[in-house]
Amino acid sequence: MTTLISKYKIYGRTKGRKKKRHDLDQTFIKSIITKDINIKIKDKNILDIGSGSGENSIYQSMKFPKSKIIACETFLDGNINLCHEVFKKNIHNILIYNGNVLELFDTIRKKNIFDSIWILFPDPWPKNRHSKRRLINNDFMKRLISIIKRNGKIHIVTDSQSYLRQILSSVFKFRNYFLWVNQIIDSWKFDLNKFPQTKFYKKAIKSNRKPFYIKLKKL
């Protein structure tokens, strides 16, 4: 098997400082954590970008059991945690892509493939000198336009006000491609009836940071 070298730089850690022990069979792990992602346009496909420990992926898999959930995460420990939940709950509609989402886009090489895309609490890189590392920018929005189906939904949540301004700037730039569904400020609230309480949601609340929710629909 040929080893692919990613052309995309990954910032931050991809593994925990301490090696976590797990008792899952390696064959099972390799069947779930894979870079051989086969997605069919006719299926209902949901992409969870930066899936972390998989709280939202599990939530989506339960809510849409006939869909295919692609959890994309660079942090291996989070992917192993999700593997545990997949095994424990006997879930059959989740695949995990261990790597950069831009690399995943290159691997798929298909257009109009996803019904919905979730980006919950992407790394805000709060320091000015690191802001270029942020995932959501104009170039990234162009990629989303090509991979999401017509009428597909994009769900973005952040607790960083500076990142929110950058996201909204990109939304405005591509306003001819997306309908901003929840433009009214009152509807930016993170609704726990619609979202799981992820690790980063809990961190935001504990630190008194307000999560903002943006919902887009491809025209």
Indicate which residues carry an active-site annotation: 123
Domain-embedded: residue 53: yes
Residue 193 has pLDDT above 80, yes or no: no
- Six-digit token string for 140: 């990234």
Minimum mean pLDDT range among 11-15, 139-143, 198-202, 205-209: 11-15
User: Does the structure show a pLDDT above 50 at 5?
Assistant: no
Residue 172 burial by CB count (10 A; 0-12/13-18/19+): exposed, middle or buried? exposed
Overall average pLDDT of the 14-35 stretch: 61
CATH number for 189: 3.40.50.150
Give the model's pLDDT for residue 61. 95
Q: What is the pLDDT of residues 28-75, one digit of tens each?
A: 676 676 766 778 888 999 999 999 999 999 999 999 999 999 999 988
The verdict on residue 166 lying in a domain is yes
pTM for the full model? 0.86
pLDDT at residue 22 in the model: 56
3 pLDDT above the threshold of 80: no
Tokens of 73: 């995460």
Highest mean pLDDT of the ranges 31-35, 90-94, 122-126:
90-94
- In eight-state DSSP terms, residue 68 is E
How far apart, in whole angstroms, are the C-alpha atoms of residue 125 and residue 132?
8
Number of domains present in the structure of the chain: 1
In a domain, 26, yes or no: no
Distance (Å, whole) CA 17 – CA 75: 11
Asked whether residue 65 is assigned to any structural domain, the reply reads yes
In a domain, 19, yes or no: no
> 83: which 2 tokens?
């593997």
* Residue 1 scores a pLDDT above 50: no
> What's the pLDDT at 187?
73
Per-residue model confidence (pLDDT) at position 122:
93
CA atoms lying within 13 Å on the CB side of residue 143: 16
Q: What is the pLDDT of residues 143-177, one digit of tens each?
A: 999 999 999 999 999 999 999 999 999 999 999 99
Is residue 133 situated within a structural domain? yes
- pLDDT of 212: 92
In the predicted model, what is the mean pLDDT of the chain? 85
DSSP string, 97-144: EES-HHHHHHHH--SS-EEEEEEES-----SGGGGGG-S-SHHHHHHH
Measured CA to CA, the distance from residue 53 to residue 176 in angstroms comes to 34
For residue 97, count other CB atoms closer than 10 A to its CB. Answer: 25
Say what the pLDDT of residue 39 is: 83
Whether residue 17 is contained in a domain is answered as no
HEC secondary structure over 35-63: CCCCCCCCCCEEEEECCCCCHHHHHHHHH
> 88: domain range?
39-218
72 within 8 A of 104, measured Cβ to Cβ: yes
Q: How far apart are CA 180 and CA 153, in angstroms?
A: 10
Q: What DSSP designation does 195 have? A: S
